[in-house]
Structure 1
Amino acid sequence: MKVTNNIKVWCWAATILLSTVCTTLRAGDKAAQVINHAVNAYGGEKLIQLKSITLHDEQLHFSQWQSGHALQGEMVSYLSEQRLELAIDFANQRKVFKRATMRLVGGHGSDSPTVMHRLYVDGKGYGVDHALEQYNPTKRVNFDNADIGQSKWLDTLIVKSLFDHKAASKWTDIAYIQGQAHDVLTVHSGTQQEYTLYINQNTGYLTRLLKAQQGQLVSVDFLNHKQSAGLTWAQRIFAGTEQGPLLHSNARRVTFNSVRNHQFELPSNYRLRPSDTPIDVSKQSIRKLAPGVYYVGKEWSYTLFIDVGDYFISAGAWQMDEHSQDWQNNVALLRETTKIDKPIKQHIVTHHHTDHLMGLKDVLEHGAALVVYANDVVALQSYLKMPLTAEQLIKVSKQGTLAGGKVQLFDVPNSHANHNLVVYLPEQKILFSEDMFGSSMQVGFDSPSRWPDIDAYHRLAILMNKVDALGIEVEQFVSSHHARVLFASEIKQAQSVPLVSKQTLLERVF
């Protein structure tokens, strides 16, 4: 009887195992059939033997970022237009990627685009700076990442890659998109490379891609499929997450096997970029700028402390979150180094952006009053989720003074933050600002090719116009985001960095 039961159990287990294996095999066979259908729909042997591909695209990008005016609330929707060119030479392992980003709605201060140009050719990577007419060899750019992932949004190349990953693909479901049945394939299931594809059962076209990116599941839809040279591509794409839309394009142009050598050449009149090294900001530091004036912090968060007699005034409480205690740590290092135990009685809030308000609960617990532009009080209290007493608030409009004139404040309105208080110490001739301008390089400055650096150069111009209008003399410039202290001669050097017009910059790139 016992033997019979064991045989029954063994037969039952074998049946389950066989059923599972058969189901898996059927799913694998089904996936292979779907992949073959898609490959044939996209060009078959022409797709498999593809030598090169070129993409021209204009995309609208949507994002959420900081508001320019406190009345807008904490975050607002941004709209940018991106112009892209991508060429991939599979036969010779070459790739070039160009991008210009024009900000249409947001906190930008000019119409100057930010641009990117990356190449991988002859086994070497390069970056090209069209604002400064320079180039630099870089080991960070390789054949895979030269296009910063743009080729992963090309349906033609997704299907081409799918052909090489049949074994890693699994058929999982049928889904209906716009009333049409689609086979659902999961590729590299259970790995960081996992993604899901929706293949139209009738046409074989790729209609949707799902892939995790930066902690979010991105859904990309491919529409208006076209054909040229016997190969298929989607003219229109739309991408978004559960938080909202990311990008949309309806003007894609794709060509095949038509790259030219000149596309992969460096501009002949550009010079090699001078080498420069970023300042090591990984460790907290304290710097005495003048008697009674200390600059403390690390990485992206620095605080200015001013000894005004019986107490300190501080400025700068940027933090990644409310619990990182950057401001508290800066206070601790100040006291440990100076052996001065005076209270911080006042803290200057320069503008309404919440990353610069993250440390304020610690400031209030310390007992300091907040010095804030009058129009930003509502935003400040909304962030703190608590009413502030008259003793906790010192309101400033346009200009103000603290500690009997030892500390002066003036407003520098700009598109990034409509009101932004700048701190000036007339006796020491020191100026402190947040989200205006700075540098973390040992010698030079960031390129105006990039964001937000291009906007920072425009903010610098606004700041220096204000300084000139007030007739004040500044010897040292410090920024809450930068370790480097800039002297007047270096600010003049930064002001001499050429800011190229939109038209000229686009002509250089494309």
Structure 2
Amino acid sequence: MMMKRVELFARALILSAPALMLTTGAMAGEKEDAVIAKVVNAYGGPALTNARSLRFQVESKNAFPGQGYTSGYVEFTPLKQDIQFDLANSRASAEAWSSNYNFSFHTRTVSIGDDVVAVNYNTGDYQPAAAPDYYTAFGPNIRSTDTLLAYELSQRPDTAEHLGERTYLGRPHELISFEIPNSPPLTLYVDAESGWISKMARETAFGDLSYQFSDHAKSGGVGYGRNFEFFVGEDANIVSLNQTLSVNTVRDSVFRIDRGVDEEPARVDTSEMTVDEIAEGTHLAGTGNAYTMFVDAGDYVIGVGGYAGLADRFTAYREATGSDKPLRYQIVTHHHTDHLGGMADALELGATFVTPANAVDNLNTAAGADIPEDRLMVLDGAATIGPVEVYDIATNHAESYALAYVAPGIAFQADHYNGLYDDAVAPAGSSAVSLKNAIDGLDLNVEMLLSAHGRKAVSWSEFESAVSAYNPDGCPSGRPICAKS
């Protein structure tokens, strides 16, 4: 779950899309230069443009709509960030820490020479970052910091386009778009009088993204918004509680791998679609972080795991096994919206849905239509569908969760544990501990644990080893970002 949340936020910020466009009769060049000069002056003039480094320390609340413990309301999670930019050398370090009832993560994305690596302090190791270059890796931080937007605008005036004027928050604003590498055009709302950036907006497949800045001040002669809110459509995603800026304080020592942090073990290859036979009649199909268990029930097939791309996984399963049997049942593990992305596929394939009661509303939304009553089986404790036993359990990840069990000893789950490595035990979080307690309470003879987020079939002994090694300390590294005062 840790990685999923981190990945969901990164995708929302990085995804490319066209910028908001407005008509304007302004002459190209003059308007742009005037607005850029106003912004640069507001943010400190030479103090900004000549700054060698900027450091932002931020405390926020991070919301995950559709991802909470309950399906009825949005829950917020504490988030701390320490973001350090060496502007003179185009390198950065972005450290983040968060911990709540369900997960704890402590990561740092950092420039090391010409590379970018991702450090995981929970596991004490690092790997090459998924985003290998400066602007892809740190673009999310640039886009969510008005000072860095002002700095980048000053460095790229040739990409700017004046888009007209608009009243925003009761004040006149000038709209100007510009581009940074590996990012769509960004539209800034610039206060016509002060030059402060009040908002940055762009459009993506996630909906309209709105980055809002307020309560501007200066530190070391450089301006910044002390308050920041980030919205995905109408949903609040990040609300800052405290933010500080320091100028020219970033040290070279930041751009090193920490002592005691080693390169992580080799990961299971999930780059291509695979269909693995786990036991006779039971297969796991998927790629990337999306997997579905398909169980041959004689005259039909049962699916468990509903990430987007379900139809592609079912096609791959049929091709690999030579089956032409229909998908008769689709088991919905829980109400989280990312695990419902394939439900429209399941509806079109004719499946009957087996679901916890609290997932029905999200299921209908994901399927694009209300599921007919004769194709909806709401769990009441437990159910048996062909060879699959389904148990409605509670974990610290979701208040109502459908665990699927298939003899001989195969259990399928999502978000609680993922066997990341070829020949090493992946670390467990609190949700893995919660899952093991729930399974122990069912007295099931589980020999193999499958995941909706990974290809590896994990032996029960490996899972037990991971759980027994779990460290509940929310700050195992002892670093300042998470250490208690």
Query: Normalization by structure 1: what TM-score?
Result: 0.74
**In structure 2, distance between residues paired with 1:166 and 1:381:** 47
Tell me which residue corresponds to 1:388.
373
Match of 1:398 among 381, 390, 396: 381
Shift of the 255–205 alpha-carbon distance from structure 1 to 2, 3 Å rule, reads same
Please state if 1:201 is matched with 2:192: yes
The alpha carbon displacement at 1:271 in A equals 3.4
Amino acid at match of 1:491: F
Aligned equivalent of 1:255: 246
1:58 — aligned with what? Answer: 59
Change (3 A) 1:355 1:69: farther
Map 1:449-464 → 2, pairs under 5 A: 457-464=429-436
Deviations 1:427-454 (A, max 9, x none): x233333444333543345556xxxxxx
* Residues 166-185 of structure 1: pairs in structure 2 closer than 5 A: 166-185=157-176
Partner of 2:267: 277
Contact 1:208/1:222 (CA < 8 Å) preserved in 2? yes
Amino acid at match of 1:57: V
CA contact (8 A) 1:240 1:246 kept: yes
**Aligned AA for 1:81?**
P
1:98 matched to 2:78: no
- AA matched with 2:370: K
Deviation at 1:225, TM superposition (A): 1.6
Identity among equivalent pairs (%): 18
Q: Secondary structure at the match of 1:160?
A: helix
C-alpha contact 2:425 2:462 (8 A) present in aligned 1:
no
**Structure 1: runs of 5 or more not aligned:** 1-22, 104-108, 449-456
Contact 1:181/1:201 (<8 A) preserved? yes
- Determine which of 399, 423, 430 is the counterpart of 2:410: 430
SS of residue in 1 equivalent to 2:138: coil
Q: Distance in 2 between matches of 1:377 and 1:232?
A: 48
Deviation readout 1:235-263 (Å, 9 max, x if unpaired) = 12233354333333252211111223443
Given residue 464 of structure 2, which amino acid in structure 1 is its aligned partner?
K
Q: Aligned partners of 1:298, 1:249: CA distance in 2, in Å?
A: 37
Aligned to 2:8: none
Q: Could you say which structure has the larger radius of gyration?
A: 1
Equivalent position SS for 1:144: helix
Paired amino acid for 1:414: T
| TM alignment of 1:124-135, pairs within 5 A | 124-135=115-126
Partner Cα separation in structure 1 for residue 56 and residue 442 of structure 2: 51
RMSD: 3.8
SS at match of 1:298: strand
Q: Describe the superposition over 1:282-324 as per-residue Cα deviations: whole angstroms up to 9, x where unpaired.
A: 234241514xx321422223233255xx6556241525268x3
Q: Structure 2 length as normaliser, TM-score?
A: 0.77
The structure-2 alpha-carbon separation of the partners of 1:207 and 1:496, relative to structure 1 and needing over 3 Å to count, comes to same
The answer as to 2:293 corresponding to 1:303 is yes
- Checking the alignment, whether the CA contact within 8 Å between 1:412 and 1:421 is kept in structure 2 is yes
Q: How does 1:435-474 map to 2 (within 5 A)?
A: 435-439=415-419, 441-444=421-424, 457-474=429-446
Matched, 1:48 2:28: no
Question: Offset at 1:489?
Answer: 2.9
Question: What is the match of residue 9 of structure 2?
Answer: none
Which letter maps to 1:161? E
Instruction: State the one-letter code of the partner of 2:422.
Output: Q
| Structure 1 position 501 matched with structure 2 position 473 | yes
SS at match of 2:29: helix
Specify the alignment match of 2:33 in structure 1: 32
Give secondary structure in 2 for the equivalent of 1:50: coil
Match for residue 318 of structure 1? Answer: 306
Q: Does 1:334 align with 2:315?
A: no
1:186–1:195 contact (8 Å) kept in structure 2: yes
Which residue pairs with 2:4 in the alignment?
A: none
Specify the SS of the correspondent of 1:149: helix
Aligned residue in 2 for 1:476: 448
Corresponding position of 1:490: 462
Q: Is the 8 A contact 2:173 2:189 kept in 1?
A: yes
Aligned-partner residue type, residue 49 of structure 1: N
Separation in 2, partners of 1:163, 1:201: 17
Mapping of residues 105-120 of structure 1, within 5 Å: 109-110=101-102, 112-120=103-111
SS at match of 1:181: strand
Following the alignment from structure 2 to structure 1, what is the Cα–Cα distance between the partners of residues 246 and 133? 23
CA distance in 2, matches of 1:149, 1:379: 28
> Secondary structure of 2:152's partner?
helix
